[in-house]
Chain A
């Protein structure tokens, strides 16, 4: 990787204060994203993907506690680095929310106010982040709608979200997110609610836009196929920890962590219709009963007693750029 990372996350731990006590949602997470790079974040429901994404824009709820070592550094080229977690005032947050960073969500309906036209919302958003004239903001918005493949963009500009089909709303949301020319785009399950043929169109569109605008993307999904088609690198999350990360080809073809291997065995693959679908053994522990040591040891058939249930595995390099956190990978070396 030549370009300096746009965003660098180090040792991030996110907890929530709840009636049942402090819940750990994300623990000691490290990653970075360079300009023009797509990082896929994959994991089961509740693994902490959305909490991680929201942390980058400080969008988590009021009951959130970040551990003091947690660090998020936003480095936009030609601008001073920004320590995101140190931003306390709402008006400082404007720098990251919808400015340098934009986010698109799974449910596009929720991102549009029902009583305001799509166009007015886009114009509003643009003017919040620049001193652009209304006329210019309108031009840019229509251009963006056209760019994401919405035909008759000038007419659509004056319509409301409910007048759009699901696929069109998703496109409009992408158009709105990109109109401010963000450096980093966070896409949280942007295609999950869509039919496959529309999902394929949106994936193509996002690839084109990365090529054109060169922004970095954090692409969140639980679908490994979508990751394979969109991401350069992938991070696999389980119970708030990144257990494996590496180039997408590498991780899918040569998974090193028992959890990643388990996910791939459970997946119905079209390239092997005879393969049995093997679930990962056991149940996901409740957030209140977070396992000590390696978070996956309660479901792992390779867990080593006295080791995996007490100590947290460090990241081990599988091949250059491909790392996994598993004692089974270092077992040989420790014995030697």
Chain B
């Protein structure tokens, strides 16, 4: 494992839920005490169901969500930032190094911007290029790398298909030369063929530009194919982290096992029914005591209702947050 590029230590993002006159104000624990290392040069997957906190975690790393506790650091060999206390000047530099690929940035952009303008905007906002010629050269270079037709730079994005629009979003995120890129559900709305195309593009850009990716997705099959490591989230916590092969071969957390078996298999005879989870994810505003998964866990013990399990090293390079992972491992 390479040294971490991004390192989280008991990182929390809590949002206040109204005020109270007496006692502590209630909070929504969107992210609660998450510890995680994202190795330099990795394609790191973050999976979980809706509301598990994946996007908030990504936003916290980019400092777009408030850090309410713990630490987050970014260290790429050139700079070393403590993201909780980072100053204005450093923040400006950090923005060039860490970028987000928006799923659909167009809603927030003027419809009169051409594809060229959309890709160029970050360069102009951050004052990276001095002249229009320099900007154009950078835009053309990254557009070519993202396999966009250069003829299209003068057009407007609304005329383009989902796949092409995603390429434009990728080019916009990469134009300022970041080292760390967060892709949040970048292929979620795409058809399988276009999805395959975009995934292949992300992987080749990673190699060519020596990027580190945090790949956020609800789709475990996609993550299984593109990521080196996977972290599984449930209700604001990480329940398991493992090298991809290891996670899919031997899921150690009961939630990971349930999640894997819920993926509809292409084999009609493999119904995965044995591991079915009951009910739905509880509200993060009133999470269960102890282990947050205990209300749905098929192998719950008394202790799980009381004690919060912490993410701990297991075996084969994996970490698990379960009191009983060893005992409940099938087979």
Measured between alpha carbons, how far is A203 from B226 in the docked complex, in Å? Answer: 27
Q: Chain A nearest CB: distance from B52 CB in Å? A: 9
A263 contacts B192, CB within 8 Å?
yes
User: Which of B107-115, B150-158, B165-173, B194-202 interfaces with chain A?
Assistant: B194-202
B268 contacts A197, CB within 8 Å?
no
A277 contacts B224, CB within 8 Å?
no
B161 contacts A283, CB within 8 Å?
yes
Q: Does B50 contact A (CB under 8 A)?
A: yes
Q: Which residues of A contact B50 (CB under 8 A)?
A: 166, 195
User: Which of B208-216, B259-267, B305-313 interfaces with chain A?
Assistant: B259-267
Q: Does A59 contact B (CB under 8 A)?
A: no
Q: Chain B nearest CB: distance from A268 CB in Å? A: 4
Q: Chain A nearest CB: distance from B216 CB in Å? A: 14
Q: Does B9 contact A (CB under 8 A)?
A: no
A199 contacts B264, CB within 8 Å?
yes
Q: Does B248 contact A (CB under 8 A)?
A: yes
Q: Which residues of A contact B260 (CB under 8 A)?
A: 270
Q: Does B300 contact A (CB under 8 A)?
A: no
Contact flag A277-B266 (CB < 8 Å), given A196-B220, A197-B49, A222-B191: no
Q: Specify which of A196, A275, A284 is in contact with B161 (CB 8 Å cutoff).
A: A284
Which residue among A203, A262, A267, A284 has the maximum number of chain B CB atoms within 10 Å of its CB?
A267
Q: Does A280 contact B (CB under 8 A)?
A: yes
**Top 5 closest pairs, chain A to chain B, by CB:** A225-B264, A277-B196, A195-B49, A200-B262, A279-B197
Consensus secondary structure, chain B interface: helix
Measured between alpha carbons, how far is A45 from B195 in the docked complex, in Å? Answer: 12
5 A-B pairs besides A266-B195, A279-B196 with CB distance below 8 A are A166-B50, A225-B266, A252-B268, A268-B225, A280-B193
B264 contacts A228, CB within 8 Å?
yes
Q: Which residues of A contact B221 (CB under 8 A)?
A: 225, 267-270
Q: Does A67 contact B (CB under 8 A)?
A: no
B200 contacts A270, CB within 8 Å?
no
Measured between alpha carbons, how far is A151 from B259 in the docked complex, in Å? Answer: 23
User: Which of B31-39, B73-81, B118-126, B271-279 interfaces with chain A?
Assistant: B271-279
B220 contacts A165, CB within 8 Å?
no
The size class of the interface chain A forms with chain B is 35 or more
Q: Does B280 contact A (CB under 8 A)?
A: yes
Q: Quick one: closest B residue to A165, CB to CB? A: B280
Q: Does B148 contact A (CB under 8 A)?
A: no
Measured between alpha carbons, how far is A55 from B172 in the docked complex, in Å? Answer: 42
Q: Does B239 contact A (CB under 8 A)?
A: no
Q: Specify which of A167, A262, A269, A284 is in contact with B266 (CB 8 Å cutoff).
A: A269
Q: Does A315 contact B (CB under 8 A)?
A: no
Q: Chain B nearest CB: distance from A336 CB in Å? A: 34
Among B216-230, those with CB < 8 Å from A are: 218-222, 224-226
Measured between alpha carbons, how far is A267 from B258 in the docked complex, in Å? Answer: 22
Among B175-194, those with CB < 8 Å from A are: 191-194
Q: Quick one: closest A residue to B203, CB to CB? A: A277
A204 contacts B196, CB within 8 Å?
no
Among A132-184, those with CB < 8 Å from B are: 165-168
Q: Specify which of B200, B248, B259, B271 is in contact with A273 (CB 8 Å cutoff).
A: B248
Q: Quick one: closest A residue to B190, CB to CB? A: A45
Q: Quick one: closest B residue to A278, CB to CB? A: B196
Q: Chain B nearest CB: distance from A234 CB in Å? A: 10
A229 contacts B193, CB within 8 Å?
no
B273 contacts A204, CB within 8 Å?
yes
Interface residues of A (CB under 8 A from B): 44-45, 165-168, 195-201, 203-204, 222-226, 228-229, 248-249, 252, 262-263, 266-271, 273, 275-280, 283-284
Q: Does B207 contact A (CB under 8 A)?
A: no
Contact flag A228-B266 (CB < 8 Å), given A222-B191, A263-B193, A277-B196: yes
Q: Chain B nearest CB: distance from A215 CB in Å? A: 20
| 27 residue pairs A–B, Cβ–Cβ below 8 Å | A195-B49, A196-B220, A196-B259, A196-B263, A200-B272, A200-B277, A222-B192, A223-B264, A228-B266, A228-B267, A262-B193, A266-B192, A267-B196, A267-B221, A268-B222, A268-B224, A268-B226, A270-B221, A270-B224, A270-B248, A270-B263, A271-B265, A273-B224, A273-B225, A273-B245, A277-B196, A279-B193
Q: Which residues of B contact A165 (CB under 8 A)?
A: 280
Measured between alpha carbons, how far is A222 from B189 in the docked complex, in Å? Answer: 11
Measured between alpha carbons, how far is A327 from B102 in the docked complex, in Å? Answer: 42
Measured between alpha carbons, how far is A187 from B247 in the docked complex, in Å? Answer: 34
Q: Chain B nearest CB: distance from A301 CB in Å? A: 14
Q: Quick one: closest B residue to A248, CB to CB? A: B268
Which residue among A45, A195, A225, A278 has the maximum number of chain B CB atoms within 10 Å of its CB?
A195
Measured between alpha carbons, how far is A165 from B199 in the docked complex, in Å? Answer: 32
Q: Quick one: closest B residue to A265, CB to CB? A: B196
A229 contacts B271, CB within 8 Å?
yes
Contact flag A45-B259 (CB < 8 Å), given A165-B280, A196-B220, A229-B268: no
Measured between alpha carbons, how far is A283 from B261 in the docked complex, in Å? Answer: 33
A226 contacts B268, CB within 8 Å?
no
Which residue among B193, B199, B276, B277 has the maximum number of chain A CB atoms within 10 Å of its CB?
B193
Q: Which residues of B contact A44 (CB under 8 A)?
A: 191-193
Measured between alpha carbons, how far is A150 from B196 in the docked complex, in Å? Answer: 38
Q: Specify which of B191, B220, B248, B262 is in contact with A199 (CB 8 Å cutoff).
A: B262
Q: Quick one: closest A residue to B263, CB to CB? A: A196
Q: Which residues of A contact B261 (CB under 8 A)?
A: 200
A279 contacts B266, CB within 8 Å?
no
Q: Quick one: closest A residue to B198, CB to CB? A: A279
Q: Which residues of B contact A273 (CB under 8 A)?
A: 224-225, 244-245, 248
Measured between alpha carbons, how far is A225 from B261 in the docked complex, in Å? Answer: 12
Q: Which residues of A contact B281 (CB under 8 A)?
A: 195
B258 contacts A197, CB within 8 Å?
yes
A200 contacts B280, CB within 8 Å?
no
Measured between alpha carbons, how far is A27 from B196 in the docked complex, in Å? Answer: 28
Q: Which residues of B contact A278 (CB under 8 A)?
A: 196
Measured between alpha carbons, how far is A275 from B273 in the docked complex, in Å? Answer: 26
